[in-house]
Chains A and B, each alone.
Chain A
Amino acid sequence: DAKTTQPNSMESNEEEPVHLPCNHSTISGTDYIHWYRQLPSQGPEYVIHGLTSNVNNRMASLAIAEDRKSSTLILHRATLRDAAVYYCILRDRSPRYDKIIFGKGTRLHILP
């Protein structure tokens, strides 16, 4: 199963953009890149996902490298509510067993 690598923690100032990196050098051609975030004592929340092209939604943007071996989650204007653990995971688009690997993620600290 393909795995992802993320920094353990990052800091950012409130109201500034945040770029959260993720490496997935063993990604296969059928893997989608998903991002989730988790607030303390809560279940993870879906943020965004993509396959090859960059994606935008109301929460964030996802920039995917041309070789798909890395991606970056972009929060355009961080708020204190964005402080959470962010997980980058790979999910297969082919109809086979659905094993998902969540690493430790990146703990994002937002400074007021």
Chain B
Amino acid sequence: DGGITQSPKYLFRKEGQNVTLSCEQNLNHDAMYWYRQDPGQGLRLIYYSQIVNDFQKGDIAEGYSVSREKKESFPLTVTSAQKNPTAFYLCASSFLPTGSGSGRYEQYFGPGTRLTVT
């Protein structure tokens, strides 16, 4: 079955530790995205990547880092510099042909990872 997976579903870390969240898709999508969601709030864009080995900062990139070494994978590292890392993290992917805008294509979301840092 094609889809987008995130692991783990729940993650607990001590303050001051870096942690990496996994996101994998087998939909052959070009673009991948990371969002953060706090309780009762909408989604905020952290980073996105439209092509392998390239990514762009979203609205709240500080304290986070990403890599895009393979088309299928877009891991997110929450560093110790992120002041309030506890949140629900969502990964998404989308078809994005070269030279085309993203507007005509829907995003597919993973099930999310709930990160708790104490």
Contact = CB atoms under 8 A, between A and B. Distances in A.
A30 B109 CA distance: 24
Given A31-B103, A95-B99, A97-B56, A102 B112 contact: no
Contact of B102 (A42, A51, A91): A91
B110 A43 contact: yes
Given A43-B90, A43-B112, 11 more contacts: A31-B103, A36-B107, A41-B112, A44-B92, A46-B108, A91-B103, A93-B102, A94-B103, A97-B56, A99-B58, A102-B42
Interface string A28-50: 00111010100001111110010
A103 B43 CA distance: 7
A30 to B, nearest CB: 7
B118 interface: no
B50 interface: yes
Contacts, number: 80
Contacts of B92: 43-44
B101 A103 contact: no
Interface string B84-109: 00001010100010011111101111
B21 interface: no
